Structure 1
Amino acid sequence: MEQKQQQKMHIMMRKKMMGFKIASNRSRLAFGILLAFFIVMNFWMISRIQDSGPVKGLKLRFMKSNSSKISVPEELRKIGKGKKPQKTAYARLLYKAAHALAEYKSTEPKDLWLEPYHVVASSWQPCADQRVWKPSEGNNGYIMVTANGGINQQRVAVCNIVAVARLLNATLVIPSFMFSTVWRDTSQFGDIYQEDYFIDYLKPDIRIVKELPKELQSLDLEAIGSVVTDADIGKEAKPSFYLKHILPLLMKNRVVHFVGFGNRLASDPIPYHLQRLRCRCNFHALRFTPKIQATAALLVKRMRQNARHAGSLDEYLVGPFAKRKGKIKKEFRYLGLHLRFEIDMVAHSLCDFGGGEEEKKELEAYREVHFPGLVELKNTTKIPSPETLKADGLCPLMPEEAVLMLAGLGFKRDTRIFLAGAHIYGGKSRLTALTSLFPNMVTKENLLSSSEIKPFLNFSSQLAALDFIACTAADVFAMTDSGSQLSSLVSGYRVYYGGGKMPTIRPNKRRLADIFMKNNTIEWKVFETRIRKAVRQNKRIFARPVGRSVYRYPRCSECMCNTQEATLPFRPR
């Protein structure tokens, strides 16, 4: 009997052991299947990053969107045919970035969405609206201006001419915008800004009219020598130039027309209240039209996923279309990114972007059409090599470098990113790394329906105004080229109205170039540390350096009032 019980127990133990073994085998099998699935998905994701796909002609080198197409000569289109697929630069680092983003799903540096020097930054408050002078009668004559460039260059030109009109005690005629064969936009001042508000707000400063008096409209300004071009005025001309050369002409002919007027007024030395007038014009007098405000408000609302609260800058940007502030149930943040990588920037930089001989031929052909002066300089002068330009921080960041910077800073994979502009050189294939690592990246063309964006098509300046507002309102704004006019104006606007709570990422491209050069050896943790250090060091709060634009650096007594007794030291740039 005892022997039978022992046999029975032995059989039960064997069955139990077999059960454990089966369970163990099943666990191993499940783990193996899961591991295989992860490897396959990982391989698919990395292959998307590394293989940018075939590069086609110039016509297809821009992101497919609802925005207006840039006119490209036929000979430029032919150059792009028959190209072979090329792999994305920095493949090793992108591979590591993909792993890091997949691993750190919920962790971000604590100050990623905050201004690290908030206490110091918040001590600067807007005060350019304060006036201490009497209105100008404008009785020395009339100033007309036709500003060139895109919307951002035009905005600077408008603020500059307002200051010149006050300096010369002249009446300003509402600015006109020059039609450019590059921008191909017929928009005028009233299509972008509120004319009546502009006139009324600046009435205590200068006299502004919508057109010349009838008795002066018939004058042949060119015949009487009253047309002044950029060639007649040196860059950053001092007020003394206008008083010496332009005022006598104005007094003689009653009218002066500045054609192609751009950055033709120095940042310094400028009389204190004249400098304040420039700030007042940029930050207070220029309000976008209701058409632009309403559509931009839609962009911001959708980037915040319809959150029922307004951002701190919304009322200044979209006016009555800003949502009223209410109780925030959940935080919906987004990053504004200006990727200055259009073909004009790429071609003008004389840098190398990994496209080989085909890219060199394509960009050289573009320069011959759009930058003949640069081609002549390149042929007659020894230009630094692309490697030297890169090392000196003179090349625009490639999309691959921009995504690595964002990943290195610690932004999560699900971060919502608004990408300003749409005509990226290389098109969608060039954005593969960015869209793969940050799939929630969108443009205005993605966020707006065809009927909503239709009124803006073929008007690049109005489209750019939408980008300006969406980037300025973002919780964090990141630029890839600090020399970009849009990035400069956006960052300055965020400083002026942001109360020290609107962080801007402005990379030091020289330091980044040194980090990216170690692509094949640097480990991800070291890369992260160096990227964060390089960007944080560029976030220091400082007063406007002498000679720098008040539109980009408004922290100066002419534009903003410092509530702290001690003023900030100048920091050389």
Structure 2
Amino acid sequence: MMVSANGGINQQRVAVCNAVAVARLLNATLVLPKLMYSSVWRDVSQFGDIYQEEHFINYLKPDIRIVKELPEELQSLDLEAIGSVVTDADVVKEAKPSFYLKYILPILHLNRVVHFVGFGNRLASDPIPYHLQRLRCRCNFHALQFVPKVQEIGALLIRRMRQNATQFGTLDHHLVGPFAESKLKGKRYHAHKASTRYLALHLRFEIDMVAHSLCDFGGGEEERRELEAYREVHFPALMEQKKTKKLPSPAALKSEGLCPLMPEETVLMLAALGFNRRTRIFLAGAHIYGGKSRMAALTTLFPNLVTKENLLSSSEIQPFMNFSSQLAALDFIGCTAADAFAMTDSGSQLSSLVSGFRVYYGGGKMPTIRPNKRRLADIFMKNNTIEWKVFETRVRKAIRQTKRVFSRPTGRSVYRYPRCDECMCNTDLSA
């Protein structure tokens, strides 16, 4: 079974874990997954540039057989001609195991090989056999370990966020392996130095998110023209919908909590939660829509806000430039290791994977701030006439309602909600 995973690094991670489960279901040997080149991400990185191949193969050996290449006798086959190429269009979203057994297994028996091209979110969360759900969990939280190159710079990034404290965090070893302890070497006499705490923030406000939302962000006619032009190129199906259907107005979308939080709104939320000018913030991602002017509110109130580009020297970050997936891996490490993690869009794949990782390894002590955008929208609409103390109380109440670590709801991703019998041995961790 071959898989070419599409999307960015986080979508590809989910695809790889799903592929492992499907290979086990079909009793197939899995060829080491390929990562598809995307015109959006423009990254030629392959699996071995991001994850440790040998660890991946050996860790999953009790569950499935994984090989690095297709056997020689199958390499000459024209897979498309013989019907062994299966695309996302051929597989329903959230397909059940029965779909694969009915439609894919016969192809595998007939041609001895099947190649999934795309393979995004193509395996259901429920109903699914216990051993397959457990295998997806093992793949995500154990089998996929970053290569030493990423781990080393990720450890450096964490260390600088903590201002070179000698303590290492709860999740560091799971993220950066042996490099979690490298900072202790030769510094035993400083072992008492406490770790500086920091907040990680994933501000999902890139142009693709902004344009696809169909919301209004106060930029007037110029903004509307710019976003409309972007949609014409990148979201033709959405543009077709706009022509044929009556879609909700920007105001209606906002009131329903369907618009991304703007940087200005994020500032208000964080300030209401008690974060202040002294707070050290690691900002994940890049290319915030609107650039420096849009970020001014954040950087003014939080002068200790930094990105990986600020933390690392040009020589340290140079090997990762032009490799967006490898840069995203550094963001994943910086966010997951943080003392607190705040997201502005709970639908983001990065935010989902980071929050799941923090639940799985955090022992109930790694808080994640997941705003209820509908509640916040109602509060923000009244912020011209509301007293700060009242505003602060309402924001904290809105955030508190999303604070608990829930057991995995039926049908929801095990990557985001690992607190279930198939994934975690102990599901009674305090929230």
Same fold by TM (over 0.5)?
yes
Instruction: Say if 1:563 and 1:242 are closer, same or farther in 2 by CA, change over 3 A.
Output: closer
Residue number in structure 2 paired with 1:265: 123
Report the 3-state secondary structure (helix = DSSP H, G, I; strand = E; otherwise coil) of the residue aligned with 1:255.
coil
Aligned-residue identity in percent: 82
Residue number in structure 2 paired with 1:539: 403
1:522 aligned residue (382, 386, 390): 386
Residue number in structure 2 paired with 1:337: 201
Residue number in structure 2 paired with 1:448: 312
1:288 aligned residue (125, 132, 146): 146
Q: State the Cα distance separating 1:160 from its structure 2 match.
A: 0.1
Cα pair 2:34 2:46 within 8 Å, conserved: yes
Instruction: Say if 1:435 and 1:563 are closer, same or farther in 2 by CA, change over 3 A.
Output: closer
Alignment partner of 1:429 is 2:287: no
Residue number in structure 2 paired with 1:231: 89
Residue number in structure 2 paired with 1:201: 59
Spell out, residue by residue over 1:224-260, the C-alpha distance to the aligned partner (whole angstroms, 9 max, x if none): 0110000001100000000000000000000100001
Alignment partner of 1:144 is 2:2: yes
Residue number in structure 2 paired with 1:404: 268
Q: Aligned equivalents of 1:369 and 1:403: distance in 2?
A: 32
Q: Aligned equivalents of 2:192 and 2:103: distance in 1?
A: 57
Report the 3-state secondary structure (helix = DSSP H, G, I; strand = E; otherwise coil) of the residue aligned with 1:561.
coil
Paired letter, 1:510? R
Spell out, residue by residue over 1:491-542, the C-alpha distance to the aligned partner (whole angstroms, 9 max, x if none): 0000000011100000000000000001210111111101111101111232
Instruction: Say if 1:548 and 1:331 are closer, same or farther in 2 by CA, change over 3 A.
Output: same
Q: Aligned equivalents of 2:311 and 2:402: distance in 1?
A: 32
Spell out, residue by residue over 1:444-491, the C-alpha distance to the aligned partner (whole angstroms, 9 max, x if none): 000000000000011000000000000000000000000000000000
Residue number in structure 1 paired with 2:102: 244
Paired letter, 2:244? T
Q: Aligned equivalents of 2:194 and 2:409: distance in 1?
A: 40
Q: Aligned equivalents of 2:38 and 2:365: distance in 1?
A: 37
Q: Aligned equivalents of 1:403 and 1:217: distance in 2?
A: 55
Task: Give structure 1 stretches of 5+ with no counterpart.
Answer: 1-142, 569-573
Cα pair 2:30 2:66 within 8 Å, conserved: yes
Q: State the Cα distance separating 1:358 from its structure 2 match.
A: 0.7
Q: Aligned equivalents of 1:357 and 1:402: distance in 2?
A: 24
Q: State the Cα distance separating 1:563 from its structure 2 match.
A: 6.0
| CA-based RMSD | 1.4
Q: State the Cα distance separating 1:412 from its structure 2 match.
A: 2.2
Residue number in structure 2 paired with 1:512: 376
Paired letter, 1:474? A
Q: State the Cα distance separating 1:330 from its structure 2 match.
A: 3.0
Q: How many equivalent pairs are there?
A: 425
Q: Aligned equivalents of 2:415 and 2:290: distance in 1?
A: 31
Q: Aligned equivalents of 1:503 and 1:230: distance in 2?
A: 35
Paired letter, 1:393? G
Bigger relative contact order (CA 8 A; separation at least 6): 1
**Which runs of structure 2 are paired with 1:349-498 in the superposition (5 Å)?**
349-498=213-362
Report the 3-state secondary structure (helix = DSSP H, G, I; strand = E; otherwise coil) of the residue aligned with 1:510.
helix
Instruction: Say if 1:436 and 1:555 are closer, same or farther in 2 by CA, change over 3 A.
Output: same
Cα pair 2:23 2:29 within 8 Å, conserved: yes
Give the greater-gyration-radius structure (CA): 1
Alignment partner of 1:275 is 2:133: yes
Cα pair 2:10 2:349 within 8 Å, conserved: yes
Q: Aligned equivalents of 1:281 and 1:540: distance in 2?
A: 25
Q: Aligned equivalents of 1:435 and 1:563: distance in 2?
A: 39
Q: Aligned equivalents of 2:195 and 2:309: distance in 1?
A: 24
1:215 aligned residue (73, 82, 100): 73
Report the 3-state secondary structure (helix = DSSP H, G, I; strand = E; otherwise coil) of the residue aligned with 1:401.
helix
Q: State the Cα distance separating 1:270 from its structure 2 match.
A: 0.4
Paired letter, 1:332? T
Q: Aligned equivalents of 1:367 and 1:182: distance in 2?
A: 14
Q: State the Cα distance separating 1:378 from its structure 2 match.
A: 1.3
Report the 3-state secondary structure (helix = DSSP H, G, I; strand = E; otherwise coil) of the residue aligned with 1:527.
helix
Q: Aligned equivalents of 1:501 and 1:531: distance in 2?
A: 22
Report the 3-state secondary structure (helix = DSSP H, G, I; strand = E; otherwise coil) of the residue aligned with 2:342.
strand
Alignment partner of 1:319 is 2:183: no
Paired letter, 1:551? Y
Paired letter, 1:448? L
Report the 3-state secondary structure (helix = DSSP H, G, I; strand = E; otherwise coil) of the residue aligned with 2:116.
strand
Q: Aligned equivalents of 1:251 and 1:448: distance in 2?
A: 51
**Which runs of structure 2 are paired with 1:547-562 in the superposition (5 Å)?**
547-562=411-426
Q: State the Cα distance separating 1:354 from its structure 2 match.
A: 0.5
Spell out, residue by residue over 1:66-113, the C-alpha distance to the aligned partner (whole angstroms, 9 max, x if none): xxxxxxxxxxxxxxxxxxxxxxxxxxxxxxxxxxxxxxxxxxxxxxxx
Residue number in structure 2 paired with 1:108: none
Segments of 4+ in structure 1 off by > 2 A? 323-331, 561-564
Spell out, residue by residue over 1:269-312, the C-alpha distance to the aligned partner (whole angstroms, 9 max, x if none): 00011100000000000000000000111100000000011000
Q: Aligned equivalents of 2:157 and 2:210: distance in 1?
A: 28
Spell out, residue by residue over 1:406-435, the C-alpha distance to the aligned partner (whole angstroms, 9 max, x if none): 000001211000000111001111100000
1:182 aligned residue (40, 45, 49): 40
Q: State the Cα distance separating 1:331 from its structure 2 match.
A: 3.9
Residue number in structure 2 paired with 1:35: none
Q: State the Cα distance separating 1:198 from its structure 2 match.
A: 0.3
Report the 3-state secondary structure (helix = DSSP H, G, I; strand = E; otherwise coil) of the residue aligned with 1:311.
coil
Instruction: Say if 1:373 and 1:427 are closer, same or farther in 2 by CA, change over 3 A.
Output: same
